[in-house]
Structure 1
């Protein structure tokens, strides 16, 4: 399109200054053949890595020999040449007027080169932000050869685009573990920020990730059930798709519907898919200990006598009281036991909310299965 032609002409005019910057970063052997220009062979279309015989600053041409020793003279404009990747960084900043550039820390050692070339070509170096690299669930650097990464397409198989944007926004200068287990938390935290936004003052809103994700106009969250809760529901409901969860959702939130809550409807579908693909293969329920069995039998009895409706706060207080009465210390061990025995997980959302969503009668039946060991056989 010729968009970079003016900058390429400048590169020919200031070739020596560019080469001086580059030579300082190259080994002696590489210095002998290096050129910031990569000619494209007029006949074969191949990009040639060859030394320059001449760079004509006045006429904006380069002269070189191809791999067969044939001499060519080409203009640096009109798509006849490319720039080596390091000079290309700085040249693009100049040509496009870039004022902010964000890149991984593997580029950070080259920043002085990019800046220097940008300035040689008459540009103003942009503000930089270097982000840390991503790690796998073991804290190891993600590697294509190891296949231990999580691709964008894989993330978007199990959650909406905004959840990935939210994850990327968080602590860019800190190395982050990026694996499938972080997806549910990212979804729920994103919607927490959406719900908080209307209640915040202007300064807090400007610091809220959703302001940046949605260009200053974040939508209202209609996610009345957390994604982590949907995952637990999927694990016990036997649903094959979002429709299989909506009966439970409607009982918990009668005003909700797929039409009025499209983000919730999409999340329900994602939850079933995530559960099927990522939880079922590794799910491991266990039998309760004697202390846990006694507490779960007590919880079952209290649920059987429950007449408080589907108030998740009241149900949570009741579950809390059972754990306290049976001497769990710390109390989180009681909730961990519930998740491990009944849901095949080591953690999850508030259990009172799960009861309200799944149903009191259904939870009683689930406890019976857990106490009988039926869930262990199923897992």
Structure 2
């Protein structure tokens, strides 16, 4: 691909890549490492937001590499905020009583309730890495605890002590009057109890690199700001991390947008230019409400992958990231089919259009050649008509429709068949609701029966079949032919919508479709339901 084409590509990852390149040019950086960052709160399991942030950032990283022709070395670092104090015990964890004894302790000090790792934080970090590894992401993992304790943050923490008043001038106007009286950007780790303390500083000695404070009992302590003896409040920590790690690009959800100027000001106070930032919209549930981990009202990554390939989830994250989208089970089939359409179109496009194609970004610039000759919506309707509870039933139809196709020769098709069966069993079959045809619909279906019986029983041309379906509908006085197609699905499949009926009949088979219509007209389908 030409870097010139990347200069004009309109896909949002290229737009962000160009903004990042503009920032580097302004700083006079023509080579060297470029750092992309994502953050993770390990108080809970990795979730849809974690996946979305890493996959989208990876897309920008790949677009930047294309744009710059590999002139820069790039790194994606995933930082776990595992030094945060445990403010409450998550409801979904075992050993609740034991964990409650460690409130306010850093997550990497809290014992692992599962008994498999050094601490709760280590356990969640391992889960995060396994999660990211399962998707093949290229990244470097960094623990906030290790960064603070190893000295990686020491220079910036000393600078923060030196610039303490400047940081306070940024933070205090953002707080309420009561909070202003007790606020400090430094959170000392109590030398005796190990608690992360939210207490005001009595003094900050920049020259000595120490802070002095009273704990909850009124006892005074002085500790170094270095070596993991303190951590920063999350807003100053955001900006400090950018400065310490040399972050060049970071994206975050809209819930961070109001604080982004604070992060940037902190970064500048500490002597670093803030990274290029991208704000994405948050996912909503089917009621249009913000998805919350505590409510459990969202669709999880694991749930999505039970019914669709990973690439379809990447596609859903790629599309319009600045637009709020509902995330629930009903969006899955459409996402699969839209992804497959883009993948099928890729090989026939010129290079400029390929850079706009979502499949280029989903597959890091190298999409696979295999596409599915049958879309997911059709697969679902095939599963519905056949009441399929395994892929063997599906392949009885697929093998006739796609010459020479087997699960071995068409693994993607086999994968989609398995997803369709699972989705049908869990969502379609429980909701199937057949109805009897009206007199007009019955007449049209009888006409369609005659037309299908006149066709070759091996007819597989969807357009030929669709023409007959249209003609049967036109033979009656439907005000809108959409009502005719809706009737076919409600009467024959017990659902209100589906793909082109001609395509469905081509895969299901003319003889089988004839039997389906005859059964419906005889009342057999309605009786079963």
TM-score band w.r.t. shorter chain? over 0.9
Aligned residue for 2:279? 130
In 2 relative to 1, CA 226–74 (structure 1 residues): closer, same or farther, beyond 3 Å? same
Q: Alignment RMSD, CA only? A: 1.7
Select the residue among 372, 383, 387 that pairs with 1:223: 372
Residue 319 of structure 2: aligned partner = 170
Match of 2:391 in 1: 242
Unaligned runs of 5+ in 2: 1-145
Give, in whole Å, the separation in 2 of the partners of 1:7 and 1:259: 56
When residues 57 and 270 of structure 1 are mapped into structure 2, their CA distance, relative to the original with a 3 A threshold, is same
Q: Determine whether 1:345 maps to 2:475.
A: no
Map residues 322-333 of structure 1 onto 2, 5 A cutoff.
322-333=472-483
Larger CA deviation: 19-28 vs 35-44: 35-44
Aligned to 1:95: 244
1:45 maps to 2:194: yes
- Deviations 1:165-213, CA, capped at 9 Å, x for gaps: 1011111111112211110000000010011111222221111111111
Instruction: Report Cα offsets for 1:222-273 as digits up to 9, x if no partner.
Output: 3121111111111121322222211111111023222222222111111111
Cα deviation 1:77-131 (Å, max 9, x = unaligned): 2222221111122122222222222222121111111111111112212222222
Residue 143 of structure 1: how far off its partner (Å): 4.2
> In structure 2, how many angstroms separate the alpha carbons of the residues matched to 1:124 and 1:246?
58
Corresponding position of 2:421: 272
- The equivalent of 2:169 in structure 1 is 20
Q: Does 1:5 align with 2:154?
A: yes
Q: What are the Cα deviations for residues 284-327 of structure 1, in whole angstroms up to 9, with x where unaligned?
A: 12111111111111111211221162111211121122112223
Mapping of 1:149-228 within 5 angstroms?
A: 149-228=298-377
Q: 1:294: which partner in 2? A: 443
CA contact (8 A) 1:191 1:221 kept: no
Matched, 1:105 2:257: no
Query: What SS does the corresponding residue of 1:38 show, helix, strand or coil?
Result: strand
Q: What SS class does the counterpart of residue 99 from structure 1 fall into?
A: strand
Partner of 1:358: 508
In structure 1, what is the equivalent of residue 409 of structure 2?
260
Secondary structure at the residue paired with 1:297? helix
**Residue by residue, what CA displacement relative to the aligned partner does 1:123-158 show, whole Å, maximum 9, x if unpaired?**
212222222222233333334565432122211111
Please give the alpha-carbon distance, in whole angstroms, between the structure 1 residues aligned to 2:231 and 2:176: 22
Q: Cα distance, 1:53 vs. partner?
A: 1.6
CA contact (8 A) 1:134 1:141 kept: yes
Q: Which residue of 1 aligns with 2:526?
A: 376
Distance 2:229 2:294 in 1: 34
Cα deviation digits, residues 38-97 of structure 1 (max 9, x gap): 112233322111111222212322222222222222222222222111112212222222
Structure 1's 222 and 255: CA in aligned 2 closer, same or farther, altered over 3 A?
farther
TM-score in terms of structure 2 length = 0.69
Instruction: Specify whether residues 280 and 32 from structure 1 end up closer, same or farther in structure 2 by C-alpha distance, changes over 3 A only.
Output: same
Greater Cα offset, 207-216 or 59-68? 59-68
**1:378 & 1:94 partners in 2: Cα distance?**
67
* Residue matched to 1:367: 517
Alignment check: 8 A CA contact 1:222 1:261 kept: no
Q: Under a length normalisation based on structure 1, what TM-score does the superposition of the two structures give?
A: 0.95
Question: Which residue matches 1:77?
Answer: 226
Change (3 A) 1:145 1:328: farther
Match of residue 38 from structure 2:
none
Conserved? CA contact 2:343–2:371, under 8 Å: no
Alpha-carbon distance, 1:10 to partner: 2.0
Find 2:485's aligned residue among 305, 328, 335. 335
Size of the aligned set, in residue pairs, is 379
